[in-house]
């Protein structure tokens, strides 16, 4: 009876470690290979990259609006709760490549999107995304 939760936690940890490893590899390959543009300018807006580590629970109709994530970048810090509210989230990989959502709320590790742009179904663990401090244009 007590083994299932422990196993579940181990699986979650393993998934998270795999995701972190994938993120590190992605960054390592980019940092090592990519040069910088020769122009250094201020960022157009604040943004964070991220990597999906788990999907949220679906609603009774099977629609998913939240997922667990780790922040990308060398610092890989946690998200500030609700800092991302109203920000635009764009998926950068996988089946939902280029899909856009608006963040409704976030914790340090979970992001919930508004239903306005539909559910995130199709998003997968290890997909990468960017959240940007700009409104979604509809």
Partner 1 sequence: MKLGVLRVALVCLIACAPAAIAQGARIPSEVVDAFHAALRNKDTAGALSMLDRGLVVFEFGAVDPTVEAYAFQHLPFDMDVAVATRWQLETRRVGGEGNERWVLSTYRVTGKQADGTPIDQTTLETVILRRTGELFRIVHFHWSTNDPAFQARAQGQRSKSQAR
Q: Which residues of the chain form contacts with partner 1 (CB under 8 A)? A: 26-27, 29-45, 47, 49, 72, 88, 90, 92-93, 97-100, 128, 130, 132, 134, 137
CA 73, CA 79: separation in Å to the nearest integer?
Answer: 12
Q: In the complex, what is the shortest distance from the CB of residue 85 to partner 1, in angstroms, rounded to a whole number? A: 18
CA 126, CA 50: separation in Å to the nearest integer?
Answer: 9
The C-alpha torsion from 47 through 53 and 55 to 56, rounded to 10°, is -80
Q: In the complex, what is the shortest distance from the CB of residue 7 to partner 1, in angstroms, rounded to a whole number? A: 31
DSSP, collapsed to helix, strand or coil, labels residue 76 as: coil
Would you say 106 or 127 has its CB closer to partner 1?
127
Side-chain-side CA neighbours of 124 within 13 Å: the count stands at: 7
Q: In the complex, what is the shortest distance from the CB of residue 2 to partner 1, in angstroms, rounded to a whole number? A: 40
Would you say 1 or 42 has its CB closer to partner 1?
42
Nearest 5°: the CA angle 7, 3, 14 is: 10
Q: In the complex, what is the shortest distance from the CB of residue 55 to partner 1, in angstroms, rounded to a whole number? A: 19
Would you say 6 or 34 has its CB closer to partner 1?
34
CA 129, CA 112: separation in Å to the nearest integer?
Answer: 13
Would you say 22 or 55 has its CB closer to partner 1?
22
């Amino acid at each position: 009876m007590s083994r299932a939760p422990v196993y579940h936690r181990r699986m979650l940890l393993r998934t998270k470690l795999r995701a972190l490893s994938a993120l590190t590899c992605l960054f390592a390959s980019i940092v090592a290979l990519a040069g910088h543009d020769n122009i250094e300018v201020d960022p157009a807006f604040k943004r964070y990259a991220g990597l999906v580590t788990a999907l949220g629970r679906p609603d009774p109709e099977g629609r998913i609006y939240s997922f667990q994530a780790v922040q990308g970048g060398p610092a890989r810090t946690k998200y500030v709760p609700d800092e991302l509210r109203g920000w635009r989230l764009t998926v950068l990989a996988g089946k939902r490549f280029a899909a856009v959502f608006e963040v409704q709320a976030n914790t340090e590790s979970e992001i919930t999107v508004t239903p306005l742009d539909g559910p995130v179904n199709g998003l997968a663990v290890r997909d990468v995304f960017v959240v940007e401090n700009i409104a979604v244009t509809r």
